[in-house]
Amino acid sequence: MITLVIYDITDDRIRNRVAKVCKQHGLSRIQKSAFLGEISSARRKELSVKLRKTLGKEKGNIQIFVICKMDIASREIIGDIEEYEDEEIIIF
Amino acid sequence: MITLVIYDITDDRIRNRVAKVCKQHGLSRIQKSAFLGEISSARRKELSVKLRKTLGKEKGNIQIFVICKMDIASREIIGDIEEYEDEEIIIF
């Protein structure tokens, strides 16, 4: 299961925590506020619980998408993906 | 065809233009740098060409995903979606 997480969080502390949770659950950064990766459905559920806890009642929005293999094949990338510290960049 | 566009662009002028192009092609803002909507494959191709032109050789990254109906049903939203000026918020 390919999972995409995108978020819009103003608070630096919370935003960094969200990024950390995504990384810890096997996703790789593809943009400043977007993570992508192939993880099991169980792991995605765990990720969702953790992200919910991390945001708590703070202002912000996180969205989790599941993308099937067929759809990911249509993914288009325009411009360069920045390299992020200590991270691999996924290009399926 | 449900299309998701996410972008990571530092330059305000280019970023605003990208948002405008997404809107003009029938997508709705779901986050500060993410647009979603159901558009035809022809329209998505047109959007892709326009986005490529808009970014040009400037620094930045735009990614276009196609998401099928089955997958969009698994979409999870954590926290509130902010209301954006003159825009409808799509929640499938």
* One-character DSSP codes across B16-66: HHHHHHHHHTT-EEEETTEEEEE--HHHHHHHHHHHHHHHTTSS-EEEEEE
A87 pLDDT tier (thresholds 50, 70, 90): low
- Please state the ipTM of this predicted complex: 0.90
Interface test with A, best of B29, B61, B80 (most A CBs within 10 A): B61
pLDDT tens digits, one per residue of A45-68: 999 999 999 999 999 999 999 999
Question: Position of tokens 């662009």?
Answer: B9
Backbone angles phi, psi at A24, to 5 degrees: -60, -20
What residues does A8 pair with on adjacent strands? A61
Instruction: Give me the residue spans of the domains in chain A.
Output: 2-73
CATH second-level architecture of A2-73? Answer: 2-Layer Sandwich (3.30)
Q: What is the dihedral of CA B77, B80, B86, B91, to 10 degrees?
A: 30
Q: Which residues of A touch B59 (CB under 8 A)?
A: 79-80
pLDDT at B85 over 70: no
pLDDT tens digits, one per residue of A68-86: 999 999 999 999 888 776 5
